[in-house]
Amino acid sequence: MGDRIALLRRRRGMTQEQLAERSDLSVDVVRKLEQGRRKTARLSSINAMARALDTEPSHLVGQPNTFEVPGAAGSGRPSILALRQAVSPVADILGGESDPEDPPTIRELRAALNSTESIRREGRLGEIGVLLPQLIRDARSAAHAFTGAERAAAHSVLAVAYQVAATTLTALGKEDAAFTALERGMAAVRESDDPNLVTLSASTLAWVLTKQGRLADAERIALARAEEIEPGFRSDAEDLALWGILLLRAAAAAVRQEKHGMVEELLRRAKGAAQMMGRDLLIYATPFGPTNTGVAEVNFLVEMERAPDAVRAARSIPDLASLPPTWQARFHVDRALAYTDLGKDRMAERALLRAEDSAPEWMRYHSTSRRLVAELSERAPRRDTAVLGLADRLGLMR
């Protein structure tokens, strides 16, 4: 990350002092990052530097930009190109022949989507890269071939498939392609039979914009939709969950803008909704309820540099095992960040190993995990085989 910051800073004709001033950071932070004496930074700091350097946060952190897991030979190999072609087929521009095969049934489409969602919750991006392009093509074919209720149902599957594509492409640093997938997903939502997909689209858009560093846009999208669907006393658990998910999306954007008062208020409201629900509910691949609001609170406390509070809050998370593996892994990474801030490297290592146990493949693509493991491994003694082994498995040992 330091090399990329230094290169862009020089290209922009800035001194370290100027970059620090425009990012509202100390010169010492910029200097240590560029010199490699510091590998990690708060997401709010990364976003601030990205804005000052006119680039995406994903470029600064150097996240993987292609599928890294080995795939089977031939058609079983995960491919960025195949996913791009499914999201933006050239036939849409030039026209082309219809698919000679009969489209899959709605039941088959839903089964394929459920399988993809399960894989996504476990963070197995390589398998998503294999399965998702065909799911998008099949859903498009069905949406074109069917009429009436079946056509609307096919569009519902297609809308979710496009949103899975958007999150996958974002995880690989392909933000522009992700935005195209979201636009196509929103068009499919308008033809679908699931009213909740409008909210799901807003949530996914807010997440993608946050990853792009467009924090004010992400916050505005999430809050606008949350205001439209704000539940009442008689609302069911699903309505409360959808509203709560949007509040957490808005809070995630706000914390990276250092709007700490807003974060605390949004979290308070989300906790209230979760308490009314009494349990966590999974909306497609996103959980919401008492457990996930607790996990979100730990994340926000880490971002607000309140490590002692984050460690205390982490100890009281109820029923962590009920969350999807990727949510569990992210929680353990946040614990590791808090322990690192407190100078407890060994505790941080243990938390990272717990994260790997939960979602090993996800760890390879998660930029914060990679940066933290790199930093810990550089200052670990050679006999510390645990963190050095983790660094090796993440492809960080050269």
Distance of CA 47 to the CA centre of its chain: 15
Find the distance separating the first CA and the last CA of the chain, reported in whole Å. 16
For residues 133-156, b (16+ Cβ closer than 10 Å) or e, as one string? bbbbbbbbbbbeebeeebbbbbbb
Task: Report which secondary-structure segment, H or E, holds 283.
Answer: strand 281-283
pLDDT at residue number 176: 86
Per-residue pLDDT at 263: 97
pLDDT band at 367 (very low <50, low <70, confident <90, very high): confident
pLDDT band of residue 54 (cuts 50, 70, 90) is confident
Q: What is the pTM of this model?
A: 0.85
Give the pLDDT band of residue 50 (cuts 50, 70, 90).
confident
In the chain, what are the domain boundaries? 1-64, 324-398
Q: Looking at the predicted structure, is the pLDDT value of residue 58 above 90?
A: no
Q: Residue 282 pairs with which residues in a beta bridge?
A: 287
**1-64, CATH topology level:** 434 Repressor (Amino-terminal Domain) (1.10.260)
Q: Over the stretch 115-158, which tens digit does the pLDDT of each residue have? A: 998 898 999 988 999 999 999 999 999 999 999 999 999 999 99
- Contacts of residue 120, defined as CB under 8 A and 6 or more positions apart, other chains included, come to 128, 164, 167, 168, 285, 326
As a whole number of angstroms, the distance between CA 386 and CA 349 comes to: 8
305: left (phi over 0), alpha (psi -120 to 50) or beta: left
Inform me whether the pLDDT recorded for 237 exceeds 70. Answer: yes
**pLDDT score for 93:** 67
